[in-house]
Structure 1
Amino acid sequence: MSNIYNNSYPSKSLLSTQNIVLACMGWAILALLYFLLFSAQIPTQTAEGIKPLRAEWYIIGTNIFEAIAYLGSGILCLRNWRSQQIVTGRNVWLAIGIGMLSFFLGGIFFGYTEIVLKEEPFPSIGDIFFVITYLFVGFAMISAVLSKRINLEPWQWLIIIAIAVSGSALAWLISSQTPSAESQIAPWATQIAPILNWFYVVSDVLLLIIATALLLAFWGGRVSLSWRMIAAAAFSLYIADMWQKFATNSILEYQSGGILEVFYVWSGVLFGMGAVLEYDASLLRSRRDRGRKRN
């Protein structure tokens, strides 16, 4: 795998760092254009009458954009785990990789429940995998912060506190709203839904705080760019989750596929970009170390 990033033959490799980053950016832009152009609801005849709905093919497309983003990200993270030269730590990338693949599987079950079964997708089997995602990604990000041995300035701690307070307040405000309509879900789902909802809220806020710490801790370091991408991915996941909770509670019979759900796709893309940038930086550092030993 190390030959893939051999700078002596950059034009011969389709999997060079530049090509993978460009592919990630292209996927993010295509997703944005797709959401912008086709997310509008159109009047549709249903059994209950005419309702504004999004086309089914559009909903399928949003699931495909999201699935490919997280599947690709998971593969790139696991590649970091297999590398002996990775800077941050192989277990960190193993945990993120498992989290990304779990989100991919969760999205598959979510889409299947909503599109094929025509049922309320929350809660569903997919939530098992979403919970796994938060647990593993949270563990990985905490491990990365601890490995940095943070020594922040007072003003940096103030930034973390400010974001923690504002992020918690927004999450609480949105999640405490009364749902616009009761969904037809099973009794067991009615009981577990509040627990899952608050688990996601607390996890989103914690990831937001850790992401802020990562930005400050890794700023200006050798692998700073890769972890800025990881932090941006956590911010994107927070935005997408907050929007979905707000829309579900405030919009009558909300149908997934809203424009801000593009942040789910961007989150997966940014995790992948962070992985490939760290892989490249780690190999470059390894080559430099070998060069010093020869000299």
Structure 2
Amino acid sequence: MDKARLVGLIILLTFFLYVTSYFLPVEDYYILVFADIFFFLIAFLASFLCFSNYLKFGKSLEGKCWMLLGIGLFLWGVGELFWAWYELVEKIYPFPSIGDIYYTLGYLSMILATLYYFSYIQIPLKTRKIYLVALVSLAYGLASFFFVLYPIIISDLSLVEKTFLLIYPFLDVYLIFCGLLLVEAFRGGALSRVWLIISLAFLFTGFADTIFSYLDWNGLYELGSPYDYVDFLWIAGYLLFVYAPIYERIALRRLVEKVKSKRKSLIFSF
């Protein structure tokens, strides 16, 4: 079996095992402990893999982008660690908290990664494709605004809680837009597939953030509630962030082998 598919199947199996854990006949507290620990471990794993790609590619454009993504995921991992601490040790609801500062900084690092890529790639994009990506992102943004964000804006929540509930969906819209543009820029190649995976990770995270904003505003986000299943979207996003750097390594190795094979065939043809 192709290595990329094998890793993809392992990622998919991990996701289904995580989902299954929510339905095991055990106390909610043990599910909570497992979920909180799994969240920060998977975030740190994704960060580690991104940094490993940075070490492989060095200070090239590709390497620096992986470094910025790795920093972003590391900061998200720290945010998840604070969430687990407040929930499991302090026994208090973890939102808003100091962890949200790390989540926000993580977003900024990822935004820098996409901006950095755009500033250096020399691939022209057709205006029609830019409009199409912008339209998709705008549709998502408007739906989020009218159904989730605007009700939060006019609510009586504290300024700090409002700020974080609003900032995540806005940042997600930007990341989805940039990710989809990069998919179009590299359409058909291995890089396109890598950025498609990353864009899907942004998309799952964006959906989760928007739904969480709505649930928290209504006081519905709690363990044991069906609404808690929004966690599955975040986990899907993290697992895709794990898959993306692995996929690029496999694709690069495959490309190198193909080039070597062509060189050998040319040599033997002479």
Work out whether 1:254 is the aligned partner of 2:228.
no
Work out whether 1:263 is the aligned partner of 2:250.
no
Contact 2:184–2:192 (8 Å) recurs in 1: no
**Residue identity (%):** 19
Query: How far did residue 242 of structure 1 move?
Result: 0.8
TM-score, with length taken from structure 2: 0.82
Query: How far did residue 283 of structure 1 move?
Result: 3.0
Contact 1:145–1:217 (8 Å) recurs in 2: no
- Out of 270, 284, 292, the position equivalent to 2:254 is 284
Report how many residues are paired.
Answer: 260
Which 5+ residue runs of structure 1 have no aligned equivalent? 1-9, 11-15, 40-53, 184-189
Question: Taking CA–CA contacts closer than 8 Å with sequence separation of 6 or more, which of the two structures ends up with the larger relative contact order?
Answer: 1
Instruction: Looking at secondary structure, tell me which structure has more helix per residue.
Output: 2
User: Aligned residue for 2:73?
Assistant: 100
User: Aligned residue for 1:51?
Assistant: none
Counterpart mapping for 1:145-184 below 5 A:
145-173=118-146, 174-178=148-152
User: Deviations for 1:95-149, whole angstroms, at most 9, x for unmatched residues?
Assistant: 1111112111211111221232122312212112211210111111233344443
TM-score, with length taken from structure 1: 0.76
Tell me, in whole angstroms, the C-alpha distance in 1 between the residues paired with 2:19 and 2:91: 26
User: Aligned residue for 2:44?
Assistant: 71
> Helix, strand or coil for the counterpart of 1:151?
coil
Contact 2:183–2:193 (8 Å) recurs in 1: no
Query: How far did residue 288 of structure 1 move?
Result: 4.8
Query: How far did residue 261 of structure 1 move?
Result: 1.9
Cα RMSD (Å):
3.1
Contact 2:212–2:221 (8 Å) recurs in 1: no
Contact 1:171–1:205 (8 Å) recurs in 2: no
Which 5+ residue runs of structure 2 have no aligned equivalent? none
> Helix, strand or coil for the counterpart of 2:151?
coil
Summarize the Cα distance change of 1:243–1:38 in structure 2 as closer, same or farther, 3 Å threshold.
farther
- Out of 198, 206, 213, the position equivalent to 1:238 is 206
Query: How far did residue 31 of structure 1 move?
Result: 2.1
Tell me, in whole angstroms, the C-alpha distance in 2 between the residues paired with 1:143 and 1:176: 32
Query: How far did residue 262 of structure 1 move?
Result: 0.7
Work out whether 1:227 is the aligned partner of 2:201.
no
Tell me, in whole angstroms, the C-alpha distance in 2 between the residues paired with 1:243 and 1:230: 20
Summarize the Cα distance change of 1:222–1:87 in structure 2 as closer, same or farther, 3 Å threshold.
farther
User: Aligned residue for 1:90?
Assistant: 63
Work out whether 1:32 is the aligned partner of 2:32.
no
